[in-house]
Amino acid sequence: MPRRRHLLAYDIADPRRLRRVCKIMEEFGQRIQYSVFISDLSRTELVHARAAVEDAMNLREDSVVIIDLGDPDTASITFVGRSRSLPSDKPQIV
Protein backbone atom coordinates (compact mmCIF):
# COMPACT_ATOMS: atom_id res chain seq x y z
CA MET A 1 0.00 0.00 0.00
CA PRO A 2 1.54 3.35 -0.98
CA ARG A 3 2.54 5.72 1.76
CA ARG A 4 2.24 9.47 1.82
CA ARG A 5 4.26 11.87 3.89
CA HIS A 6 2.27 13.78 6.50
CA LEU A 7 3.10 16.65 8.81
CA LEU A 8 1.40 16.18 12.18
CA ALA A 9 1.28 18.92 14.80
CA TYR A 10 -0.58 19.20 18.06
CA ASP A 11 -1.69 21.81 20.60
CA ILE A 12 -2.99 20.00 23.68
CA ALA A 13 -4.31 22.00 26.64
CA ASP A 14 -3.91 19.43 29.43
CA PRO A 15 -0.46 18.03 30.40
CA ARG A 16 -1.79 14.48 30.91
CA ARG A 17 -3.49 14.40 27.51
CA LEU A 18 -0.40 16.03 26.03
CA ARG A 19 1.78 13.10 27.15
CA ARG A 20 -0.72 10.58 25.76
CA VAL A 21 -0.96 12.34 22.40
CA CYS A 22 2.82 12.73 22.24
CA LYS A 23 3.33 8.98 22.82
CA ILE A 24 0.84 8.18 20.06
CA MET A 25 2.59 10.59 17.70
CA GLU A 26 5.93 8.96 18.52
CA GLU A 27 4.46 5.58 17.57
CA PHE A 28 3.41 6.82 14.15
CA GLY A 29 5.97 9.49 13.28
CA GLN A 30 9.31 11.09 13.80
CA ARG A 31 9.59 14.30 15.80
CA ILE A 32 11.09 17.25 13.95
CA GLN A 33 10.03 20.01 16.37
CA TYR A 34 8.66 19.99 19.93
CA SER A 35 5.07 19.30 18.85
CA VAL A 36 5.60 18.60 15.14
CA PHE A 37 6.09 15.18 13.58
CA ILE A 38 6.74 13.84 10.09
CA SER A 39 5.22 10.50 9.25
CA ASP A 40 5.03 8.31 6.18
CA LEU A 41 1.68 6.53 6.50
CA SER A 42 -0.56 4.39 4.37
CA ARG A 43 -4.24 5.33 4.32
CA THR A 44 -4.99 2.57 6.86
CA GLU A 45 -2.17 3.67 9.17
CA LEU A 46 -3.42 7.26 8.99
CA VAL A 47 -6.93 6.16 9.96
CA HIS A 48 -5.53 4.24 12.97
CA ALA A 49 -3.27 7.14 14.01
CA ARG A 50 -6.13 9.62 13.79
CA ALA A 51 -8.49 7.39 15.76
CA ALA A 52 -5.89 6.88 18.51
CA VAL A 53 -5.18 10.61 18.75
CA GLU A 54 -8.88 11.53 18.77
CA ASP A 55 -9.44 9.03 21.56
CA ALA A 56 -6.77 10.76 23.67
CA MET A 57 -7.90 14.31 22.94
CA ASN A 58 -10.58 16.56 24.34
CA LEU A 59 -12.02 17.70 21.03
CA ARG A 60 -13.34 20.95 22.56
CA GLU A 61 -9.95 22.02 23.96
CA ASP A 62 -7.22 20.34 21.93
CA SER A 63 -6.11 20.58 18.33
CA VAL A 64 -4.18 18.34 15.97
CA VAL A 65 -3.38 19.27 12.40
CA ILE A 66 -2.56 16.67 9.74
CA ILE A 67 -1.12 17.96 6.47
CA ASP A 68 -0.61 15.64 3.50
CA LEU A 69 2.77 16.48 1.95
CA GLY A 70 2.44 13.91 -0.83
CA ASP A 71 4.79 11.22 -2.02
CA PRO A 72 7.67 10.74 0.44
CA ASP A 73 10.13 10.68 -2.46
CA THR A 74 9.03 14.05 -3.80
CA ALA A 75 7.89 15.91 -0.67
CA SER A 76 10.20 18.86 -0.09
CA ILE A 77 11.09 19.88 3.45
CA THR A 78 13.54 22.67 4.20
CA PHE A 79 15.11 23.13 7.61
CA VAL A 80 16.48 26.49 8.66
CA GLY A 81 18.98 26.04 11.48
CA ARG A 82 19.47 22.60 13.00
CA SER A 83 17.95 19.91 10.81
CA ARG A 84 16.31 16.68 11.87
CA SER A 85 16.37 13.28 10.22
CA LEU A 86 13.31 12.31 8.25
CA PRO A 87 11.59 8.93 8.01
CA SER A 88 13.12 6.51 5.56
CA ASP A 89 11.40 3.79 3.61
CA LYS A 90 14.52 1.70 3.94
CA PRO A 91 14.63 -1.09 6.53
CA GLN A 92 15.61 0.13 9.99
CA ILE A 93 17.33 -1.92 12.68
CA VAL A 94 15.89 -1.19 16.09
| Residue 46 to residue 40: CA distance in whole angstroms | 9
11 assigned binding-site residue = yes
- H/E run at residue 31: strand 30-33
3-class state of residue 17 by DSSP: helix
φ, ψ at 26 (rounded to 5°) = -65, -30
Residue positions in the annotated binding site for Mg(2+)? 11
Residue positions in the annotated binding site? 11
